[in-house]
Structure 1
């Protein structure tokens, strides 16, 4: 059943989702297995619980259909149940998924990955991004003999592990001594980064960052970081969880031509199936192997890291990107969406308050109040209107399954939402349009 609501957000309710959310909270801390999917990220009592998805659409347990953005926290870049991926997975399911020794699929997947990301020389697969980034940090510490990690302070998330989470407001349970070993540098500022490396001379094992985010790297920035890492003897790590495939099939390193020592991939790699990768220079990666004479590094050792069906999904994703020009399609769809949203916002007089940012393949939006400051209240208002119009959009990150009609529908719903946004700005108070408490940031000290 498709019950897109056109009568407005005030009448839009999700009784079955509300009941399902209560069941989730009773059994699962936070009501979800990822904090970014929590119902506190959505307007009160309007957090849809998903029944199923196909292509660029998802259906909730109340029967509503939505055009979906940011699918699977950016992981489902080809669309849900993509036939090429699901067929590859089905072929492996009847052949067994996990054995006492490596499957031939493991070497085939490694060969495919390294052909796709030729700047890397070795790769090891895991199940989630946190394991891969933490393995990169451990390896950097091992090969340099240094204790400190320098992470980019502008990147919101690197890992669930202590070295990173201890630096966030949700640091409960993490010893201060651990947190003190992680320091931050600002994105785009080579002078400040060199000052940090000098202050902690011979102490910093690695520089870890997302090579690009909501803005393009300044000219010469990544090249400058590469030179700084070489000059100070530390490891340069690119977190390509998001930039991998969305920037180019070979990631940001392939697009910008700057080669890190180590890099981590995930999200789009499996189109929703659980697979991540740590890749990099052979001289470093082999320290986690058996063909060297030095001290061994416990790099990655995961029971399910090489499940055959997930690796088959990854190979199908890479083949699809290469053969069908998916990255170019993501950029074209994003450009169409960004232009439409900006025109709609400007037409309703809120162009300075609803702001679309980021690379076309990775769009986010900011909701600003009367003073131009980021506002969770206005975000709540906006999300509420989108949901009522059949658009599920924690971001505007596109998938390749979107059609022009999906984009046009989204822009129409955004225009209607912007009309309400304008009313709230004129009133100087969005509260009457919130329907309850505002949405909350993921990283906060108290519930």
Structure 2
């Protein structure tokens, strides 16, 4: 078998990865440090364990090379081992990474961030998205004196903390009283959101949502939320973990021109290095500082939140985006990929069953069965064929390291997968093509 481009799933085996997955499960709950990276998200015995990556490619420990999409759960948007980022990190590591007092790098990183996201007035850095979304919620509660959080029910993830996890099927360990303080509203429906605000008068501290996701916000929607937050006295929080940089360098708020009270950034901000940001209006953010006369808010205080190498990575990422037009490149690559996948699906007769959705810089795919219902078995079939063709793609989220030839190769593999998809649809049963259990959703009550 040509391990550079494995083609035949009958011969495609990941013996070393399979053994490594057993070791992972023996030592790490779930076999990974992020549930979305778990081997239950991949066809049985076909979950690669990665050796290394460069640019848009990764290699597994079995020696297979893949074109990778959704890199680092959307965090590695410039490609692996990007030279400008790694050089900035290497330079700072040689100077020490963590001190008993702030480093000058902290103020430089803050200045760079606020120049990139000019709708914010202050910023505080942390390590992951949950740190900063939870800080935003705490700050909103402190500022308003209200207990409830309203989050958008149509967006999949906000935090590992109880205020969000209590709303999911994996709510074990979250007190009912805590979960009961979180309420939900539907995306795009201002009337429903206002009804929620009137149902809980003077109780909702904040509205938190991704400003955009699989669809563009309806005309006037974000401005309407801004109006509702002002009218009902709650804090408007944009979770820009994904939209930050992928929609524009200044996030969705920069693209759509609606300014939230608070916003949170991460993922693409560090190109794989651990850094996130809470940003927002000075009057709110300063409540977590020392220059006010009210009660102090324990906003963010993380030992590793300002490690110099991660902040250096963030500054290098921002400079690369603004100087090289990365966001525009992500959109161009995504548009080429989406058009090619849709054409391949249509040519093989599965255009109504394999759907590409989302903004060009943030594409996902849906797999539908013969009744056009979402199907994990058909997703499993599709992922198996992609893997065998050398494409590792839990989504179609692009990185700027991809070239046009990479996109064309991906479309070729998708077309081959679609031909098998058509056979399974004709048989009204994908089981013969699965070779094991279907992939599973992340959020489920039972393992």
TM-score between the two structures when normalised by the length of structure 1? 0.99
Match of 1:83 in 2: 83
State the Cα distance separating 1:8 from its structure 2 match.
1.9
State the Cα distance separating 1:35 from its structure 2 match.
0.0
**Matches of 2:403 and 2:314, distance apart in 1:** 24
> Which SS does the other structure have where 2:318 is aligned?
helix
Match of 2:108 in 1: 108
Aligned length: 447
Distance of aligned partners of 1:393 and 1:7 in 2 relative to their CA distance in 1, 3 Å threshold: closer
> Which SS does the other structure have where 2:10 is aligned?
helix
Distance of aligned partners of 1:7 and 1:238 in 2 relative to their CA distance in 1, 3 Å threshold: closer
Match of 1:295 in 2: 295
1:266 maps onto 2:266 in alignment: yes
**Matches of 1:442 and 1:244, distance apart in 2:** 24
State the Cα distance separating 1:11 from its structure 2 match.
1.9
Alignment of 1:311-390 (within 5 A): 311-390=311-390
User: Retained in 2: the 8 A contact 1:139–1:299?
Assistant: yes
Deviations 1:253-285 (A, max 9, x none): 000000000000000000000000000000000
Any gaps of 5 or more consecutive residues in structure 2? none
Deviations 1:85-123 (A, max 9, x none): 000001101100000000000000000000000000000
1:191 maps onto 2:169 in alignment: no
**Matches of 2:164 and 2:369, distance apart in 1:** 31
Match of 1:50 in 2: 50
> Which SS does the other structure have where 1:381 is aligned?
helix
> Which SS does the other structure have where 1:22 is aligned?
helix
**Matches of 2:101 and 2:308, distance apart in 1:** 12
TM-score between the two structures when normalised by the length of structure 2? 0.99
User: Retained in 1: the 8 A contact 2:7–2:390?
Assistant: no
User: Retained in 2: the 8 A contact 1:69–1:395?
Assistant: yes
**Matches of 2:279 and 2:381, distance apart in 1:** 42
**Matches of 2:435 and 2:358, distance apart in 1:** 29
**Matches of 2:10 and 2:365, distance apart in 1:** 23
**Matches of 2:284 and 2:311, distance apart in 1:** 23
User: Retained in 1: the 8 A contact 2:353–2:368?
Assistant: yes
1:132 maps onto 2:132 in alignment: yes
**Matches of 2:233 and 2:176, distance apart in 1:** 26
Deviations 1:23-50 (A, max 9, x none): 0000000000000000000000000000
**Matches of 1:7 and 1:135, distance apart in 2:** 47
State the Cα distance separating 1:2 from its structure 2 match.
6.7
**Matches of 1:39 and 1:160, distance apart in 2:** 20
1:95 maps onto 2:95 in alignment: yes
User: Retained in 1: the 8 A contact 2:53–2:59?
Assistant: yes
**Matches of 2:13 and 2:374, distance apart in 1:** 27
State the Cα distance separating 1:9 from its structure 2 match.
1.5
**Matches of 1:261 and 1:161, distance apart in 2:** 21
1:178 maps onto 2:186 in alignment: no
User: Retained in 2: the 8 A contact 1:134–1:159?
Assistant: yes
**Matches of 2:342 and 2:127, distance apart in 1:** 37
Any gaps of 5 or more consecutive residues in structure 1? none
**Matches of 1:229 and 1:372, distance apart in 2:** 38
Match of 1:397 in 2: 397
Match of 2:206 in 1: 206
1:34 maps onto 2:64 in alignment: no
Match of 1:433 in 2: 433
> Which SS does the other structure have where 2:244 is aligned?
helix
